[in-house]
Structure 1
Amino acid sequence: RRLVIDPIAPLIYGGSPDDVLYVREFLREMVFAIERVGSLTTVLTSEIPTGSKQLSRFGVEEFLASGIIVLNIYEVRGEILRVMYVRKARWAPARPTKFVFDIEPGRGIVIKGLLKDFI
């Protein structure tokens, strides 16, 4: 069983998104409520503001997450590349290796290789 919330921002905007304590408590309570359901894989998405060094929109989501996959876009020699890397994987080793990927009809996300091989 899976639950996907894409993105989480509209849920938070019901309160006070500028109040870090509110956002952190709201997300913590939501995560705990989902965990109480049990046996459920949950995926929450959060955009990163363009040009930001943050890992999430509100700056607190990553502390509650068990795993973080960062998606980005790079331009290499005039070609646009989709890039991903695992930033955090609780209870598992995660080397921050950047991979180029495509989204293909009928297949979904397909890893094309290491970013360093495309540069």
Structure 2
Amino acid sequence: LGLTFSFPVEQTALDSGKIITWTKGFSAKRAIGNDVVKLLQDAFDRKHMHVKSVALVNDVGTFLIPGLCPTAGAPLSRAYTAGGCVLGAIFGTGTNSTYVEDLCANISRIVAYPL
């Protein structure tokens, strides 16, 4: 399972992240500070569900990773049909955007910036 968690989280590894706070009217105070992936995995295990959580991604990450369920279908479908989808952005709940660029012609290298 690839989990899109649309709340502030301190991601500590590919498959773990601590909940910082709740937004959008949600509240589960005892969950704050805990690993959201572990909480979900523990719930699956208690129900004897054969599901393994392997990745935690921000909403934007789902735009770029085929096979995960995106929060908006258009960017993923663009990446699937034409390739080259390298940027996704979410400006607020319910507002999604994607920019498509020809990597070979217009971008000489992608620089990774520290968080």
- The answer to whether TM tops 0.5 is no
Q: TM-score, normalised by structure 1?
A: 0.28
Greater relative contact order (Cα < 8 A, sep 6+): 2
User: TM-score, with normalisation over the residues of structure 2?
Assistant: 0.29
